Homo-oligomer: A and B are copies of this chain.
């Protein structure tokens, strides 16, 4: 069964090793890629995410900076800080850690980020460029899914890819990418969601299933066909008093019942998660390179 497991950490390490070389080359040209994360409020999970991103930056040679702001920060104050980051030459990537406090509109705030520094790929301008097939930055998690398939030698071209979930972070952008005539994409894409009448009709035919709807263990073995590739983007906390923390983490896929049928599957944790951060670093390096090209 071990050979069916997709080792997200190993793929992420490989990506970071490749990036390190590119970063060395950039440094030789006098440029150190810089990524600034802005964190508003005291959500504990967000603090962990941001710290992990900063650590990953450091390891690969990117200047990682974290700006921590109190949860009372006003929208105008945050917008002003983003404007300063837009203007800074040493900052190539800006990320606004989600969620923002409720008094700040997230989409409205992302509009303040220079699209050329929007390494999360969340700015409507970048989402639009992507759907039109001329992307600047691809959103990290769906980009990571494409990278995983490439790494394990599964070409989605012409295959039936079923995406479960239509969120703005994964489902919709992944669908937009997978349907493009790009290498590593070019799939026949179907998007299922809460409105879908009979999800199993679609999943049963899927060569590749990407689960990203946020429902613990939703995809079970009887829903998939023999030999399917299953990518689990879900991260759900399930209450469990027997655990020290009072919960355990699981994906949108019922790993145990799927394992026998799949040809490849990502675990949770250790699957898509580590690669998402690697793609953020990738986008930051790309942002630095873009700036170099634009200066020439």
Contacts and interface: CB of A to CB of B under 8 A. Distances in A.
A166 B195 contact: no
A197 B193 CA distance: 24
A158 interface: yes
Contacts of A124: 124-125, 128-129, 132
Interface stretch (A30-38, A183-191, A208-216): A183-191
Given A131-B172, A166-B179, A172-B179, A195 B190 contact: no
A6 interface: no
Q: Which of A127, A158, A188, A202 has the most CB of B within 10 A?
A: A188
A189 B186 contact: no
Contact of A176 (B176, B181, B186, B188): B176
Contacts of A189: 175, 190-191
Given A124-B128, A128-B127, A159 B197 contact: yes
Interface residues of A, number: 39
Nearest to A187: B195
Contact of A190 (B159, B190, B197): B190
B179 A175 contact: yes
Contacts of A202: 188
Contact of A195 (B126, B188, B191): B188
A134 interface: yes
A127 B131 contact: yes
Given A126-B128, A128-B126, A132-B107, A188 B196 contact: yes
A186 B191 CA distance: 10
Interface in A134-160: 134, 157-159
A123 B125 CA distance: 9
A126 B125 CA distance: 8
Interface string A197-210: 10001100100000
Contacts of A166: 179-181
Given A127-B127, A181-B195, A190-B190, 15 more contacts: A107-B132, A125-B128, A126-B128, A127-B128, A131-B168, A132-B168, A133-B172, A166-B181, A179-B193, A188-B190, A188-B192, A188-B193, A188-B196, A188-B197, A188-B202
6 contacts: A124-B124, A125-B128, A127-B128, A175-B189, A176-B176, A188-B202
